[in-house]
A and B are shown apart, each in its own frame.
Chain A
Amino acid sequence: MAGILVFVEQRKSEIRNASLQALSEAKRQGGAVSAVLPGSGIGEAAAGLGAWGADKIYVADDPNLDLYSSDGYAEVVVKAVEQAQPSAIFFAGTAMGRDLAPTVAARLGVGAIPDAVGLELDGETFSVRRPVYSGKATTTADTAGNTPQIISLRPNVFAAEESAGAGEVVALDGLSLSIRAVVKELLEAEGGELDVAEADVIVAGGRGIKGPENFALIKSLADALGGAVGASRAAVDAGWIEHSHQVGQTGKVVSPSLYVAAGISGAIQHLAGMSSSKVIVAINKDPDAPIFKIADYGIVGDLFDVIPPMVDAIKAL
């Protein structure tokens, strides 16, 4: 096939893991793989992408590309597309990738398919499997013959694996950056708090935790497991925790390796957002709570009694 171009995302020159996953998946598809990397002072990061399967790395190194902008980054990707002429463009489905993929698509006059969890290549055409209705169903779709096929890949679904690529770095010249909506500031979360959308382990609390102060208990288990703190809509709407933690149909849809639901009964909207997690653990006082129907493991009991000894047992491992 005619090659895949992968948009690679960095922050402070550090390549995002979700981008390495996208790069690895492109490599597994068998054709030539190129990467496009915008940023500022990113020469070293670019050179390293050869170890992740990239044959060509298109680099746009410009102080105006230090922080993300839809306009600036889209212009860079379009420029790389002109040179690489790929049959498909992969994005990692991060906040940035989910903004950029359709922005690039509109500039190229094609559609885009977000949130892929499975890819099958038939000739030159990708059949893309993606959850819809927040995971209540899965659809398989393609771009109806339009190329390049723009696809964003859900983080933590495709494995990142090192593999040798030619690693030729090509500087993108002649950019005429016209940036309208500008990021003025990027404030890092305190203590580098892990986002549920990126986490491989999530411990989520719901109405059963009774109050905002008890998210400390949820966090103690999340910390012991090296995971992120999630929440049900009930906990968010009660004002106990920010919406960025919400998992479910009107929050984030996640598929970590391990999802622990504590004090969450399991409304259909919540189940929709996490049911594709690999291993689901439920802790709930109510043996009839719907969450137990999709749980791989569960404890019927009071989360306030169960979580502290769990934390101790995990620490003792």
Chain B
Amino acid sequence: MLLIPGQILRKLLLIAIAITGIGLMPIGFAQVDTFAFDTPEQQERFRQLSNDLRCPMCQNTNLTGSTGGVAEDLRREVHRMIMAGMTNQEIEQFMFERYGDFIFYRPRLRAETILLWFGPLLFLIIGGGVAFGISRRAKVVNAVHGAPLSADEQTRLHELLHKK
């Protein structure tokens, strides 16, 4: 029986991986549709739009990752619109008119979404204000209570501490 030392075995394995390209295979859940594009730029736009648009049915997946029927249809529509020469903005508007803000992973800045965007900042400012107020008050209290003791107070403190 032929024994191969571990070192060589590992090298052989690496070579095998390099040849077959297993190591290069992107691991993900992308749905494979066969869409044809005229330019790499169109393909890149398709990839980016399908990544940034949310599947309305499955809720926590983008169009790229969803197996849902409506996601399949929307990918087809995105492809059709890119090939028809529509801009990203026009495509996003198309989606917004039908599915609303929900379709975007990054909702647009509008009156309805302003709290969503700046709510956390608002809470941070309020919280910071409260924290600042508390620490300032603590300083005032400290100034009063941290003043040096008078001679009388000193004696009384001494008595209290040494009382048996």
Partners in one complex: no
